[in-house]
Structure 1
Amino acid sequence: MGPDVLMQSQAVIESTKGGAMNTPQEARSAAANRPRSDTPGPSLARAGLCYWLTGLPGAGKTTLARAFATRLRDGHRDALVLDGDELRERLNCDLGFDRAGRAESARRTAEIARIGVAAGLVVLVSLVSPFEEDRMRAAEIVGVERFVDVFVDASLDTCMQRDPKGMYLKALAGLIPGFTGVTSPYERPIAPGLHIVTDEMSCADGVERLMRHFERQCMVDRSAPHG
């Protein structure tokens, strides 16, 4: 990832702290004017964490990520949502949906997540990321100890019913090549950190599972020795 991408990524992260969305220029200005202290405040002292939500298109990844982010912010914890569709519009607009393009999309997203985790954010990635190799590489980039892969699982029928744009029907008709779940494979996670079946539970129930995991992780972080 080049310096321009890293600068844009850091600006995006700064602009989302506390839930407020600013332009990158505003974010850089705010960062430059922010008072510095030798003693980090409570929020900066917290360890960051990345939840990487993977699953078929329409499985409910983004819905779950945004609801979880709201819950975290309500508890005064900074959270950043990285949505695959939104990243494709700007940061990853030069990438295709072939194998190499998907791998690079996951890599760039992981690099942004790494910066967010280092800044103490809870980063919620919503990305189809259909290949196990790419997800494992993402974990290595972020840091395996701060990375939780979340398999957001839903049947193909359920995903098709949740598809307001009719993308699945277009893929079945041969109009969209390389569409995951239809004309391109999805490799189910081998041993995900969390497995949330959205056919069987509501979004609220899914958020509760994520919160319980997060609270347990916070307890582990607090009990860990600090050198």
Structure 2
Amino acid sequence: MTIRVVLVDDQAMVRTGLRMVLAAEGDIEVVGEAADGAAGVRVVTELRPDVVLLDVRMPGTDGLEAARQILAAELPTRAIVLTTFDEDEYVAAALRAGVSGFLLKVAPPEDLVGAVRTVAAGQGLLDPAVTLRVIERYAAAPAADPARAAALAGLTERETDVLSLVAAGHSNAEIAARLYLGEATVKTHVSRILLKLGLRDRVQAVAFAYESGLVTPGGR
């Protein structure tokens, strides 16, 4: 299947560069572009791509607000935020908006391609340059969300352990090694966790773990 992508960035040269990188891949097609968030929402609503790449800072409607509107419309589109800014507040806002990925523009082309494929496949990602630092800060609230904390009761003890390790940034293989489980078993646990908690992907699972109080900055 071809992954259909829309680019939203106020800099034409950036869009051209992104298009060139993605167009070189046989399984990815850039089907539309927009120079600001409002236009991006219109283009995505019309074309319904698999993935939209959104810059954070744009005149008028920025990328975060555009992401909120796109995701609220329940389109079959997953969002990746692209930015030159790695401050925690941008990552926090992007993930709380419901995006599936956060990638710095300085990332190498192969990371961009990999991000598009990963998100199109229904998974989530954070740029490796910010993952560990942000995981401990972006979703940490002054107090746990009572509704989210209560939802944890629906998980088994093993599922709770797996969610804690997902929130710590571990891959399925690493979780399998830590819990002495098969990797396929861990994958099944992750799928059940997402289903029970009504989450879309691992990125949302990280947010949930912190906002529910299951995991706290600096420890479990």
Class of the TM-score when normalised by the shorter of the 2 chains:
0.3 to 0.5
Higher relative contact order (CA 8 A, sep 6+): 1
Length-normalised TM-score, structure 2: 0.37
Length-normalised TM-score, structure 1: 0.36
